[in-house]
Amino acid sequence: MAQRQYGRPAPRRREPVPVAGLWRALGLTLASTVVWGVAHIWAGRRAAGFALMGLLAALVLGGVTAVLAFQDRLKQIVVQGSWLNAIIAGILLLAAVWALVVIRSFQVVCPAGLPTGMRITAGALVVILTLFVCTPLVYAANATYVLRDTLSSIFSGDRSGGAVNASNPWKNRPRVNILLLGGDGGRDRTGIRTDSMTIASIDTRTGNTVLLSLPRALHQFQVPARMRSVWPNGYTGDYGPDGTCPPGTCLLNELYIQGERRANLEPGYEKGQRGPHLLEDVIGHLTGLKLDYYVLVNLEGFKDIVNAMGGVRVHVSRLLPIGGDPARGIPPSGYLKPGWQHLDGEHALWYGRTRHADDDFHRMDRQKCLMRDIAHQADPQRVVTHFEKLAHAAKKTISTNIPAALLPALVKLSGKVKHGADISSLSYDPAKIPGFHTDRPADATIVQVMRRAAADAIARSTRPPATPGATPTAGRRAAGSVSLKNAC
């Protein structure tokens, strides 16, 4: 019979470290990150596990169904501030729930008795996994916030817009006329000269659009009656009411600067708004159209927008110089070669603004083609991946009086314009419009010619095709008006 040893405790049996159990717990946690509830079911908590699986399935199926069934509606939702706030809150809530699912999944399958070092290591791995899950969601919430901030900054509207009937903004409005302005503001410039001035006249029912381009060099033009105390004999700039304008002065592209300098021309508007509104009033008077809104794009910032969207592919019809000034003997720094070219922001800007290879009127045509190409080629994936850069460029580059409340309706209308609507172009070019000129004072007769050309182009754009499925042809258009599809 073995003798009992006194004074010395019996040796304890050492339990093995549960390494295998730890790896199994981490694997189940990883699986639960992808399919909620896996860890709970393995641990015997079947009710909780299946509930988590059902919640995840409902979220995924609901999201996919919404994207597939309500694509057009979603495009309108993402330009509304209240919806964007709800989306931000929903994304952050989803991130918090997902993080709790990951952490709780590890807790329910974590083996007991882990040494301190292993517990710390396992906890760190779970935290890393949680961050891996939440980071894309936090990024999405931040991008949504940037979108909301950008929209509220750009589309703040002003007193000219009036109240918007958000449910039916086009009621009793068969057309909406938007003045698109391209300004040459930059570090080396004083003020802004709007070398690009185009009216987009859009049929609110069909989306058929007429682009009316006005020449920057329209000289000593007539102004609305309320401005004739300042310029009774047509626009004479700073030369006084009875002054004589030398060649190359008193041009349409100077009006923005005049509006900013002379607050009495557009009373009630703030600095930065007076110039565009003066252009709205004068161009509306010349064309006989009521201009509803304006959009001003600073051409220097335009480069950043094109770069952020990955460039634009355009057709160059002839050799176009980059920079230079033949009149002063300055050679160009390079050329855009004929044919299809994929242009970055700098070269796209020169494509739209150079005129030394032809003239202002060909440049007007190129600018409209460039707008069309950018609208058709914007790559959603590129826009998403470069969203913050694009938003930053847009805030610096674009100003408008379009109110945010009108954005959903404009998004819906732009879908019609992009998919199947007829887009025609009218350039106020003396070679295309009989009786029109730019190099002599534009008297009342020229105003009548401009109004008649605009009215005819718009009337023809609303006329149904002669046969089902046919599209309007150049022969049926107003003088100087062509299909932009064919022109580009």
pLDDT at 477 exceeding the cut of 60: no
Give the span between the Cα atoms of 251 and 51, in whole angstroms: 71
Cβ neighbourhood burial of 432 (10 Å; 0-12, 13-18, 19+): middle
323/45: higher pLDDT? 45
Neighbours of 226 (CB within 10 A): 10
- Which run of H or E residues covers position 479? none
CA–CA separation, 413 and 436 (whole Å):
33
pLDDT at 197: 92
Banded pLDDT at 417 (limits 50, 70, 90): confident
Contact 297, 392 (CB under 8 A): no
The alpha carbon of residue 104 and the mean position of all alpha carbons in its chain are separated, in whole angstroms, by 42
Parse the chain into domains and list their residue ranges.
Answer: 19-154, 175-464+472-487
Amino acid present at 452: R
Q: What is the pLDDT of residue 379?
A: 63
Cβ atoms of 28 and 39 within 8 Å: the answer is: yes
Measured between alpha carbons, how far is 113 from 170 in angstroms, rounded to an integer? Answer: 70
- pTM of the prediction? 0.78
User: Each residue of 134-186: pLDDT tens digit?
Assistant: 999 999 999 899 989 988 888 887 766 566 777 788 888 899 999 999 887 64
- Cα 51 from Cα 178, distance rounded (Å): 52
263 neighbors 272 (Cβ within 8 angstroms): no
Contacts of 462-468 with CB under 8 Å at 24 or more apart are 462/203, 462/206, 462/208
What pLDDT, in 10s, does the model give residues 427-456? 898 988 999 998 888 888 999 999 999 999
Q: Please say if the pLDDT value at position 41 is more than 50.
A: yes
Burial 447-486 (b: 16+ CB within 10 A, else e): bebbeebbebbbebbeeeeeeeeeebeeeebbebbbbbee
- Residue with token string 């310029």: 231
- pLDDT (tens digit, 9 = 90+) per residue, 14-37? 445 566 788 899 999 999 999 999
Find the angle CA(446)-CA(450)-CA(454) to the nearest 5 degrees: 170
Query: Does the pLDDT value for residue 335 go beyond 80?
Result: yes
Q: What is the DSSP letter of 330?
A: B
Question: Tens digits of per-residue pLDDT, 251-297?
Answer: 999 999 999 999 999 988 888 899 999 999 999 999 999 999 999 98
- Averaged pLDDT, 334-346: 90
pLDDT of residue 383: 64
N-term to C-term CA, the chain: 109
List the CATH code of the domain at 175-464+472-487.
3.40.630.190
